[in-house]
Structure 1
Amino acid sequence: MASEHIEQKLALLPELPGSYQMKDKDGKIIYVGKAKNLKNRVRSYFKSEHTGKTEQLVANIADFDFIVTSSEKESLLLEITLIQKYQPYYNIRLKRGTGYPYIKITNERDPQILLANEVADDGGHYFGPYPNVYAAQETLHFLQKVYPLRRCNGYQGRPCLYANIGQCLGACYKEVPEEVYNEQIKKIKRFLDGDTKVVTKMLQKKMAEAAANLAYERAADLRDQLKFIEATVEKQKIISRDGTPRDIFNFYMNRGWLSVQVFFIRQARLMKREKRLFAIVGSAQEELTSFILQFYNRQNAVLPKEILVPAGVDKEAISQVLNIPVRTPQRGEKRALLELAGKNAKIVLDEKFRLLEMNESKTSGAMQEIADALNIPEIHRIEAFDHSHLQGSDMVSAMVVFEDGVPNKNKYRKYKNKTVENADERAETMEVIRRRYTRLLKEHSEMPDLILMDGGVIQLNAAREVIEDELGLSIPVAAMVKNDQHKTADLLKEEGAAHVHLDPNSQGFYLLQRIQDEVHRFVITFHRQLHSKSSLGSRLDGIAGVGPKTRQKLLTTYGSMNKMASASLDDLKKLGISERVANNIRISLAAMQNHDD
């Protein structure tokens, strides 16, 4: 029977083509498959009866992942690549195979065109791989007839059979100029890159002539040849048409969280994918720029020959630091790959939010599990705190409230720093806890059953010092301790004590992670809003005639530069701004936008 975690992920699978990867309890990929419809295919493993090897596979599945592609054919090609890379235990047959063929133009004085089982570092031109092996073979034979290169073993003093029938340029009995080969190779490359209009038109004409002359077998052969060509040269987004090693970064942002996808293109194929999720303060483009630079500033990081990024990312800065080209493709296969990475980034973040929503509705017993772990009689209300700062300054805090396992957003609170300088988390914790619970005492309001700090010993001790020593309250306080992936792993009740463990598959553990994610999201969103307004406010200060009152009116009414810049002269005058100052605002904001663009 599938675990609750898998059941939830099954409910969120998209009805799209792609490749799926089954993982064991250690996170190791044990099976790779492909699907025309990921939802139906992956669900079938857990919703149907199985025997033999499939039964063993399902029994060992602890989690799964997937990559969405643009077609069933692309999912098949991706499946091949991932099997060859990860060598999963339950893919024995494909693991031992040679995969699907490539069409190769050899790198030699008298080049040949032939089929190859894999891409080698030999200077040759490779096209594929082609899942329809027979179609690839027939297309190769067609190319050898229409755009001949060398089909013999080399010079032998007389024309070979293929030279006599026009399928060899004649290296067997003469010296063929290099420019003749280059012209043929140029045509072959254009053909295999999808430019088949001339050839298709020629074959269609011959097919019509054969049918008119009642040569139906010949017409059928030509019809099949057209189908083989179409199957072979079909555009594929997961395949790069050149062999340049490149990394592709794209993102999707929502609710203060950034989802990043990294596609690694090697040997003209999508060889690997990495995905990251994290809350951010600045703009998505700024955060992605920083992420890319940090991504390569790690041990054993291998730089590609080219990096592709979406518009808005600081390509020049990345290129200067890494000393490799950084580009934003506008069209073609590279653009399609970039968009596919963005599509996968959106799916991953949407899945995260939907899993959170599903878990929020399944809170039975979760609060009690946390209470039992901390030796608290019962818990109905938890208040959790987190801090955020930007490079050591502008620290802010936020609090979220969970009642009976469900977030009560009406009781969330935001805190601007009033007394703390720089990123002093102990002092900031004491200030916020003091402000929160002094207010509740004055208002005779209900206290929480548990206070959680998103941090470690420093935050825990600071909060307990205020709660117990200053305010004389007896509210339990615990810290949410994170692991290397910055995810809640344990609880800490007091300094020096052993960590309190929760079963990673329990509802209590899921609830704890939801609380951490929610308070982190809330404080980051708050910080980003303040940072954005502060940045815009400083820009407004530089406009002639705009003082503190006018600036506040503009920020309150519009909130963003785009909305402010699109406001008409009459709209600005309605705020009590003179025509002269309104004109200054419109001209200055337009100039700022042009500069940013």
Structure 2
Amino acid sequence: MSDVHSEELLAQVAALPALPGVYRYFDAQGALLYVGKARHLKRRVSSYFTKNHGGTRIGHMVSKITRMETTVVRSEAEALLLENNLIKTLNPKFNILFRDDKSYPYLKITGVAGGAARGEAPGQVFPRMAYYRGSVDKKHRYFGPYPSAWAVKETIQLLQKVFRLRTCEDTVFANRTRPCLLYQIKRCTGPCVDLISPEAYAADVQHAEALLRGETQEVLQAMETRMMAHSGKLEFEQAAEVRNQIQALSRVLHQQSIEIADDKDVDILAVRVQGGRACVNLAMVRGGRHLGDRPYFPVHVEDAAAIFAEEADDDNPDHAVAAPARPVEVQVLEAFIAQHYIGVPVPPLLVTSEPVDKALMEALTVQSGLRVTAVHQPREQRRAWLDMAQKNASLQLARLLAEEGSQQARTRALVEALDLPPEDLDQLTIECFDISHTAGESTQASCVVFHHHKMQSSEYRRYKIEGITGGDDYAAMRQVLTRRYSKVVEAAREAGGIDFAAAPPPDTESAEGAVKPKGVARLPDLVLIDGGKGQVGVAREVFTALGLDLARIVGVEKGEGRKVGLEELVFADGREKVYLGKDSAALMLVAQIRDEAHRFAITGMRAARAKVRVGGGQLEEIAGVGPKKRARLLQRFGGVRGVASASVEDLVTVDGISRELAEEIYRALR
């Protein structure tokens, strides 16, 4: 056993059962290092502490382990699902992790299936098509998910051309007295003014749903039968309308290349690995229609691949038979499948560029309740889909590597131009401040953060500036810098010194997603101020009062005529102004960070200004008015001003608003 780990940890390892389960390793600061699964916990975990890993990545990780947690499960499939749930939620340092901060969009048709023409609400009698992003419920019908908002909107336009379903809000629909422009250009049948019966509209909705499910032939046959029925009854105008629908649908099917085949819902997954980075390209086919694709870029690929390579045969009891090495592409693809389909519906068929473990497919089947299969070497149409996905994966990965190379070159150019200290460019940290207001109203300050060659949006901060004369940018800058860095100084005094963003010691986690040691106060290498001598002078006063280094303050002064590319850098420590040049890579990085600070400040200011002017926050402050009642009030009266002008009797008519609450709302808004 290892002599660098505590006896308590080694005893815990020795006591592990010979059962399937999941294990988690932690370092001295409590940061999660790695999550793994095993069909034989004792054999797998013991291998980490009995083998000599030397200076490899796995050896580096094992040397940091101070604590371990394990969870025993009933089967390997359960272990696989739990492992990837933990990876996605806890972000361990040495696992392949796919980050996705966006939910998938859906196409929503209001009302429940089969309920059209029965209810009283407009959304039930005449269902509406809409773009939707969020959690789904049983009150409406949802089709998707789609890879992008563009794919949803294109599908809505397709259905408008063929079936002419409405897309207007219920509030607009209920108050129309004549048909809108969409009716004039034959994109809507005018249900708002009763130009179509509920029964006929319901039939169009059913056909639209069938088309979204991929039942193309059935839809065409049903429409032909309907056309012939009208013709047999000598209803030639209605027959002509159906004929026009059939022609429109035929044109769409030809233009959109919708496949009339057995494959209705398919996900195509292609992976490429190059230069330590990886890309998984996900293409979606729904209802036989190719909806487009979406690239994903995992992190921690090299660390996770190295660890996986060393532990590959630990679950194999017969070590005389060497386990075949698994390519990195397979590891990345399996990690994506396991993590991606935790919160996204999985289709019955996956077409993959690499072979996938059967245990993973079994786990997905158990999780979804739907039999899921994977095809590795497809033919015919599936092969064409996969070839397209592989080409797009290669293009997206090449684009990412080019962008990262360009961004690193900009970082290096800035370090050289300003003679900044970090030898490791990944550790260069820049914070930029900007002030935004409208004639002194709703003053907001922004702070954006740059490190690891990219903007770190999770570390952005906005500051509401109060207690100053409206429009005094100098006072606003003094307040935000004092609030930002006085806490750093206070924390540094408690910790016994300030860490001036120097490169961390070897035992300190510094990579993206890692946890910084508690009690270490850090300052950025560079503090950018959007302004000239005046703002830099204020920053100099604040840093002098706090005892901080003035050399890290740099102002970005606009050039002659405020033209882009003519900016000059102003220093707080007495150095002369510097003009880097219009085509300077360093100036491009400075301008990128400055522009992001400006964008972040102005969006916050506009939101605060709108809240003050419109009174959007007043309804939430009234006791008894939650999000649902607030939404009903705003929908009924068209906004806060409409609610404020409503009488108590009008307010009572809103569902869920009692007379007492109506009187309270009336008093609060008057």
TMscore range, shorter length: 0.3 to 0.5
TM-score calculated relative to the size of structure 1: 0.33
TM-score calculated relative to the size of structure 2: 0.30
